[in-house]
Amino acid sequence: MRPHPRTGLLALLALMGLLLTSVPAAAQTAPTTPDRYGTAAQAAFDAFPAGADVAVLASGEDFADALAAAPLAAAFDAPVLLTGRTVLPPATAAALAELGVADVLVMGGTAAVGVEVTNGLELDYQVSRVAGADRYGTAARAALDAFPDGADVAVLASGEGFADALAAAPLAAAYDAPILLTSRNSTPAVTLAALAELEVADVLVMGGTAAVGTAVSNGLELDYQVSRVAGADRYGTAAQAAQDAFPTGAAVAVLASGEDFPDALAAAPLAAAYDAPILLTGRNATPEVTLGALAELGVADVLVLGGPAAISTEVTNRLELTYQVSRIAGGSSELLAVEVFFANTGLGDPCGGVFPVSRTVAAAAPLQPTLEALLAGPSAAEQALGYEGWFSAETEGLLRDVRVESGVAHVDFATQLRLVIPNASTSCGSAGLLAQLDRTVTQFPTVDEARFSLGGDETAFYEWLQLVPPT
């Protein structure tokens, strides 16, 4: 492999008068917003706590330019921030200032990032544009700028969908390779020209034939050694790329949405900062292939990129049973730290004594996700510390409804609850189960009292526990 050309790129920009100096930023004080722009800013703050001289700016309205920018951002040790076409979002403007950026590399032509944005930036920053005639040309230009001495390997991903190019970033980093884009059935001329100019020998094709067809790979095999990195779907392809890039495992993984691109666009620099793969998830459930990759890689910490609208609290709460989970998202007010209560005989009363452990839920309507987290039970790490109770993976998903009226929380469970935990009707059992529920529900200031039911029947719940129903 050729040495990484970062120092040569910086020297080249300095000779051209395009690289200024800046002072590293202090600890983050700039607010972020609960959207894609705020999430990118928050990821930049997390990945570059001491600031950054250079930032890559890409469209937040489309995915292609931001994803192809990953190797360019790595070459300049730069975050990827996002902008609208004609307006620079306040969160992005604040992040550029907070990070102490001097030079901004704008990805794409004026159809992606308009002159309204670049003209404004030029009042405070040295601005350069990295662009081609279209997304394929922009990716090619970024590859040539990031690898002026060429590259032995190139990663080729679909320019028509975001998921495979997103997951390709750590693989490209592992092979010190650019990311180039192709259509499904033909390789654009500008991409072929970039492969030739870079003197690439090996091409890693991301995704199956539904993403990059055999017409493309067969054509490339006439001139290059071609390998395909693919799974059964986008989640499997990301898992395979992670395992190929990290054959000895990884302590940290970045988890991004596989359903939509906005919050995922800034994942590459964050993954690079933590030497982490990028894996994909659905909004409400983590695919088995992703869970398998997390386990096989030996991951301990999962960084979830984006707010609950992108990756729900159901996903994070479930992951918290096995991993240390942190969410990186714009708009800190969108999330709320709460407590769920479990028994712990090492800490007190084995019957009615309950003790809190922390969870993170959506702030807008926290009661339901908090109860869902309680029903999922204590994590393996918490169980090792003695936390226990009636709730586990078997009771997860048995919450039917929650509503609060005049300070009273009405919580309804599926009737299967009493079949899963039949021994709760003992005197000690009923006291413990009710205490875990009651303390978890009444922690919220809008709740003065909690009442529970099974299948809509309040009497059935309390008779199950051999208790007198409240009047």
18 has a pLDDT exceeding 50: no
pLDDT at position 398, please?
Answer: 94
Q: What does the pLDDT look like over 332-347, one tens digit per residue? A: 545 667 899 999 888 8
* 63, two tokens: 């995915």
Instruction: Select, from the ranges 90-94, 143-147, 317-321, 377-381, the one with the highest average predicted confidence (pLDDT).
Output: 143-147
**Average pLDDT score over residue span 118-140:** 96
pLDDT at position 250, please?
Answer: 98
Helix (H), strand (E) at residue 57: strand 54-59
381 has a pLDDT exceeding 60: yes
pLDDT at position 272, please?
Answer: 94
Residue type, 377: G
pLDDT-based confidence at residue 22 (cuts at 50, 70, 90): very low
Q: What does the pLDDT look like over 399-413, one tens digit per residue? A: 999 988 888 999 999
Contact 382, 423 (CB under 8 A): no
- When the pLDDT of each residue in the chain is averaged and rounded to a whole number, the result is 88
- Residues 179 and 70: their CA atoms lie apart, in Å, by 8
pTM over the 0.75 mark? no
Q: What does the pLDDT look like over 241-289, one tens digit per residue? A: 999 999 999 999 999 999 988 778 889 999 999 999 999 999 999 999 9
User: DSSP for 401-425?
Assistant: EEEEETTEEEEEE-TTHHHHSGGGG
Angle at 389 between CA 388 and CA 392, to 5 degrees: 90
Contact 393, 404 (CB under 8 A): no
pLDDT at position 241, please?
Answer: 97
Domain locations in the chain as residue ranges: 1-131, 338-464
First vs last C-alpha separation in the chain? 76
CA-nearest of 345, 408, 409, 424 to 371 is 409
pLDDT-based confidence at residue 13 (cuts at 50, 70, 90): very low
- Residues 123 and 247: their CA atoms lie apart, in Å, by 46
CA dihedral of 152, 186, 170, 222, whole degrees rounded to 10: -30
In 10 A of CB 398, how many CB atoms?
18
pLDDT at position 192, please?
Answer: 98
- Residues 270 and 276: their CA atoms lie apart, in Å, by 8
Residue type, 131: A
Lowest-pLDDT range of 102-106, 457-461, 465-469: 465-469
pLDDT-based confidence at residue 427 (cuts at 50, 70, 90): low
pLDDT at position 425, please?
Answer: 64
Contact 331, 364 (CB under 8 A): no
2 has a pLDDT exceeding 90: no
- Residue 356's DSSP bridge partners are 341
Distance of CA 379 to the CA centre of its chain: 21
- Residues 161 and 159: their CA atoms lie apart, in Å, by 6
- Residues 61 and 277: their CA atoms lie apart, in Å, by 24
Residue type, 385: L
